[in-house]
Amino acid sequence: MNYKMRLFAFAATACVSAGSFADTTMKLGDRADVEIYGRVQLAYEYLKYSGKMYVPDNTPGPNQGNAVLDQNGNFISTDAPSHSRLRNQRSVIGFRGNVVIDDDLKGVWQIESSAAADGGGGLHVPSQTWANRDSGVGLDSKKYGRILFGSWQTPYTHSTFGYDPYYTTTGAYMGIMGNGSGASVDGVSDPATFDRREHNLIQYWSPDINGFKVRFGFDTSENKANAQRAIPELNVGAAPAQNPHLFSLETTYEVGPLNATFAYEQHRNFQPGGGNDNGVKIGAAYWFAGTTRVAGILQRLHYEAADGDLNQKQAYVSVVHKITEKDLFKLGYAVGGQVNGASKQIIGYLRAGPASASKILSVGVEHQFNKQLAVFTYYSKTFNQTNAFMDMPINDTAPAMGSSPSIVALGARISF
């Protein structure tokens, strides 16, 4: 049977066989294989508003979905009716494999795509394009580590995403801990978030050396642009020269029940006319007696806009407790302090001023029938001070300043 026929036969079997969940890997001879993997996760949510919602910008471009401001810089808002909704919780499908070169070295590849199992919806949902999630190609050595080219989670994002038990749901921590979530972005399409999957990323992952591992990465300068003069007759505004690119670093120590990490990321020239934005965080997680994991993160985000700086200190704590072998209790709590600095701009969900702090609490339980199937329920609540508008990062609620919506969710997940 030739390669195309084998691949077709395998895909057909995976679609119709319940046993396909047990083994979704196809051998292509002795030196290569292909694996199909994914997650289908949906939740029925009841969204309750406490206040108004902002009017989103519907103009195609980087600001699409963001708040529209009046001439005084205030949100244009409207009444927000509470309602139920069905929301995708980051369903994905992917293909990955390797080609053995010798006993130490192999070629690796992955193509991963989002899958809107609810049919789509939301203000900042990534487009349904092929390979819009972790996708790339590289070389992997047991002795020297991995070099990877593609669009991928940055090392900074990777360092702590596993600390959040709600990371793939509406109740995730990124609204605060990343200043939004960039599912598939670059320095032009999303110049704010520090929880991002970056286009055109080159990475190195070290091997495990007595529990220590390092990842670092940088992107290419494909969005470099010269200064643009205004052309009124073509409706083109003036723009400064820009060369947005980033550097991202993760260092991790993991031995037994302990995981500890330090991460740093710098965004150079992401803010038009500005300087360097920086994120730095430390985190640790520990399993007590194999039944309760406690994790915590401290983070500081710093932006250099054209009109001044913008800063926020943030903290996060989570608890995962095994009630039984199949039942989990999960809690996540993020706190974003007062936003300060001289800049008057809105960057992501941050604008400097008094009463600009925010929080998000997510708490619930999950029952795992087996490795593939789980059902879950949780309650997630935002807490925004008068001049804060932090939002739930995956499935938006578009809160106006000072509005603090909440959701109750009931969902299911199948992994394969």
Mean pLDDT by 10 residues, the chain (416 residues): 42 41 67 93 95 79 73 82 93 95 96 83 64 95 97 98 97 95 91 96 97 96 84 79 93 98 97 93 98 98 96 98 98 98 94 96 98 97 95 90 95 97
pTM for this prediction = 0.89
The pLDDT value recorded for residue 14 is: 42
Which positions ≥6 away from 325 have C-beta within 8 Å? none
Burial of 173 from C-beta contacts in 10 A (0-12 / 13-18 / 19+):
buried
The model's pLDDT over 186-215, given as tens digits with 9 standing for 90+, comes to 999 899 999 999 999 999 999 999 999 999
The pLDDT value recorded for residue 10 is: 40
- Percent helix, strand, coil in the chain (nearest 5)? 10, 50, 40
Q: N- to C-terminal Cα distance for the chain?
A: 26
CB 80 within 8 A of CB 49: yes
Instruction: Provide the 10 A C-beta neighbour count for residue 49.
Output: 19
Bridge-based pairing of strands 373-384 and 135-141 is: unpaired
The pLDDT value recorded for residue 121 is: 63
Which two structure tokens, joined as six digits, stand for 45? 């949510």
The pLDDT value recorded for residue 262 is: 98
Where are the alpha helices (H) located in 73-228, listed in sequence order?
155-158, 174-177
Beta strands in 289-340 (DSSP E): 292-305, 308-322, 327-336
- Residue position matching structure tokens 């993997």: 37
- Residue position matching structure tokens 């990062």: 393
CB 348 within 8 A of CB 393: no
Which positions ≥6 away from 2 have C-beta within 8 Å? none
CB 291 within 8 A of CB 322: yes
Residue 170's nearest CA partner among 415, 404, 396 is: 396
Dihedral sign computed on CA atoms, order 235, 62, 240, 353? positive
